[in-house]
Amino acid sequence: MIEAILNYRFLQYAIIAALLSSIVCGLIGVIIVEKKLVMMSGGIAHTSYGGVGLGYLLGFEPILGAFIFSILAALGIGFIKNKSTGFSDVVIGLFWSLGMSLGILFIGLMPGYPPNVTTYLFGNILSVTSFDLILMVILTVVVLLVITIFYQDWKAHLFDQEFTKILGKKTKLLENALLILIALTVVVLIRVVGIVLVIALLTAPAATASLITKKLSLRMTYSIGFGLIFSLVGLWISYVVDIASGAVIVFFSILCYVSVYLIVRMIKKRKSILSLKEGLQ
């Protein structure tokens, strides 16, 4: 495998893509899990498929179309959320369905044979191009800078929104910014695990980290580490066995989450039994 990495550029690109996706997953995934925005993230991700179809129809990079549609979906959801106190999953479902239907419609309008959109739907980290990588680097840097610069604001907003308002922070601005960051993260992940599987990679590393620590900075750090491990192991397995990388990465990440959950639960149960025995003595 190491020799192959040194000889094949597509493997080098795949490893860089795994690192970049792990960074954005670690940072944004923790916030998504804490704020319970998993379904909203899925809505933004699936809406981006309309941009993929538009890119194919008009002849520009589909990933740019996904970027445009993701941003529009984030802004649209944010606008409706701010205007409506009765915001529900219905709106997310509508965006979700609209994006997928537009993608299918745009691709259906193309002359000749339709393109293979499997890599955008289910991901293929081994097919990442230099253009994809450049876009991923730019978006990752943006996400990293925003989270780092406004880290204390995010921390206050996550755990005590009322206190954040007392401090005079604009909570709606933070929420809208978060939606845009989710959109950027979705674009980074599309080429790694695909639109359909984005939710799993967004949540699995963060959820696994939350089982180990409750401190925000450590959760983000552990989440980045877990994301990198999941991506690299999934990449290695998919390369050796020659199967879809996105599915392998997601399957391995969920398997690891379940394993860590069971281990942590056993440890807590053992501690409670020991403390109970000590109390009886």
The band of 11, judged by pLDDT with boundaries at 50, 70 and 90, is confident
**Host H or E run for residue 263:** helix 245-280
Report the length, in residues, of the chain.
Answer: 281
The answer to whether the beta carbons of residues 154 and 31 sit under 8 Å apart is: yes
The residue among 2 and 240 whose pLDDT is bigger is 240
Note the pLDDT of residue 163: 59
Helix axes 151-159, 130-149, angle to 10 degrees: 70
Quick one: what percent of the chain has pLDDT higher than 90? 19
Q: Which tens digit of pLDDT belongs to each residue from 148-188? A: 888 887 777 676 666 566 666 666 777 778 888 888 888 88
- Angstrom distance (rounded) from CA 183 to CA 189: 10
* Domain spanning 2-280: CATH 1.10.3470.10: yes
Collapse the DSSP code of 110 into the 3-class scheme (helix H, G, I; strand E, B; otherwise coil) and give the result.
Answer: coil
Note the pLDDT of residue 236: 87
- Angstrom distance (rounded) from CA 227 to CA 231: 6
- Tokens matching residue 264: 């942590």
Q: Give CA 218 to chain center in angstroms.
A: 18
- Angstrom distance (rounded) from CA 199 to CA 92: 14
Phi-psi region of 122 (alpha: psi -120 to 50; beta: other; left: phi over 0): alpha
CA atoms within 13 A on the CB side of 9: 4
Does the pLDDT value for residue 147 go beyond 80?
yes
The band of 198, judged by pLDDT with boundaries at 50, 70 and 90, is confident
**Host H or E run for residue 78:** helix 62-83
Q: What is the DSSP letter of 69?
A: H
Note the pLDDT of residue 170: 66
Quick one: what percent of the chain has pLDDT higher than 70? 88
Note the pLDDT of residue 280: 60
- Tokens matching residue 14: 């795949």
Q: What is the DSSP letter of 126?
A: G
Nearest to 246 by CA among 126, 115, 70, 103: 126
Phi-psi region of 179 (alpha: psi -120 to 50; beta: other; left: phi over 0): alpha
Helix axes 216-241, 151-159, angle to 10 degrees: 100
Note the pLDDT of residue 261: 93
pTM of the model: 0.84
CA atoms within 13 A on the CB side of 85: 0
The answer to whether the beta carbons of residues 267 and 215 sit under 8 Å apart is: no
**Between the CA of residue 272 and those of 212, 276, 277, 279, what are the distances in Å?**
17, 6, 9, 10
CA atoms within 13 A on the CB side of 216: 17
Nearest to 61 by CA among 51, 47, 75, 76: 51
Residue with the two structure tokens 């983000």:
220
Stretch among 28-42, 222-236, 263-277 having the lowest mean pLDDT: 263-277
Q: What is the DSSP letter of 125?
A: G
The band of 106, judged by pLDDT with boundaries at 50, 70 and 90, is very high
